[in-house]
Amino acid sequence: MAVAQTDIFADRLRALHPEMETEVRMIATTGDKVRDRPLASLGGFGAFVKELDNKIVAGEIDCSVNSLKDMPVACTPGTRIVAVMARGPVEDVLISDVPLDELPEGAVVGTSSVRRKALLLHMRPDLKVVDLRGNVPTRVNKMRSGQFGAILLARAGLDRLGISCGHFVLDPTLFVPAVGQGAIAISCAERSPYAEALSDLNHTETRLCVEMERYILAGLGGGCSVPIGIWAVKELDEVRVRGVVLREDGSKAFRLDRSIGDKRPKEGLDDYVHDMKEGWEGLS
């Protein structure tokens, strides 16, 4: 996935700035090297992104390309998100021979996401959800080999890797995506001489929506260790925000669907955070 997304970025940058010399350098983070342990045991949410950020600060690389959903809401000091590219598909997909409601009782479903696990158990508490790590092809191969009855992945990953396999797209209004899902973010040093050129890849509408999602997530104090989904979509002069927060076991969920206008967006976002917090506290 990292290679595919970096190629998308590099091709776009070269098209916009053919005069720039571009070198792609692949860097293996701890997450790439260790695939048999839960993310929390490897430093938690954003740990691998920070490894790349540290190389930016050290001057070893000029920018990094990341899935925005994997990035913490607070940037590493000395770095900033200079561009968010046009968003791809936001949905999650179930790779399975049958749709979610037709999976056999007790079927084993693989995912490494606490959000996906909680949403699955909320909809199908009879399922057995187990941790599944590795790159997308590895996960798909494990499914095909019969190790799992189904697995959950981001639709954007399948599309960007060109993987064709039987799957069912989950309704994002119910199976609410992770913050920033489907978006590619470019980070660079705060005073990078390449910032202006890199910012040409920024997609205004995508940036607006994902920044609202990240603002809400920051207000809730969440990361990938908390089952939270936030999805913002521009609709004329408003942004419609759908959110869900769940107990980890999926036994309870709180949802909030609200439109926030352009005139006083911060006030609307603060109200949204307040109401989500109240709903979250009500789950305990």
Q: What is the pLDDT of residue 52?
A: 93
Strand, coil or helix: 40: helix
Measured CA distances, 55 to 64, 155, 247 (Å): 9, 30, 36
pLDDT digits 0-9 by tens, 186-240: 999 999 999 999 999 999 999 999 999 999 999 998 766 789 999 999 999 999 9
- pTM score: 0.91
Q: What is the pLDDT of residues 9-22, one digit of tens each?
A: 999 999 999 999 99
Q: What is the pLDDT of residue 42?
A: 42
**In whole angstroms, what is the distance from residue 226 CA to residue 207 CA?**
23
More confident residue, 185 or 47: 185
State the Cα–Cα distance between residues 60 and 65, nearest whole angstrom.
14
**Beta strand segments in the chain, E:** 63-67, 79-84, 92-95, 108-110, 128-130, 150-154, 167-169, 184-189, 228-235, 238-246, 253-261
What pLDDT, in 10s, does the model give residues 242-274?
Answer: 999 999 999 999 999 999 998 788 999 999 999
Q: What is the pLDDT of residues 98-109, one digit of tens each?
A: 999 999 999 999
Which one of the listed residues 70, 249, 270, 271 is annotated catalytic? 70
Confidence of residue 48 (pLDDT cuts 50, 70, 90): confident
Distances (CA, A) of 20 to 180, 191, 193, 197, 254: 28, 18, 12, 9, 48
Annotated catalytic residue 70: yes
Rounded CA-CA distance 63/69 in Å is 18
Average pLDDT value for the chain: 91
Residue 44 burial (CB count, 10 A): 14
Distance between CA 114 and CA 63 in Å, rounded? 29
What CATH fold (topology level) applies to the domain 92-169? D-Maltodextrin-Binding Protein; domain 2 (3.40.190)
Whole-number pLDDT of residue 28: 75
pLDDT at residue 45 tops 70: no
Q: Grade residue 144 by pLDDT with cuts at 50, 70 and 90.
A: confident
| Residue 176 clears pLDDT 70, i.e. is over it | yes
CA separation for the pair 150, 140 (Å, rounded): 9
HSE toward the beta carbon, residue 279, CA cutoff 13 A: 18
* Domain ranges across the chain: 92-169
Give the chain's count of helices (H) and strands (E): 9, 11
| CA-wise closest residue to 1 among 117, 88, 98, 96 | 88
Q: How far apart are CA 256 and CA 270, in angstroms?
A: 13
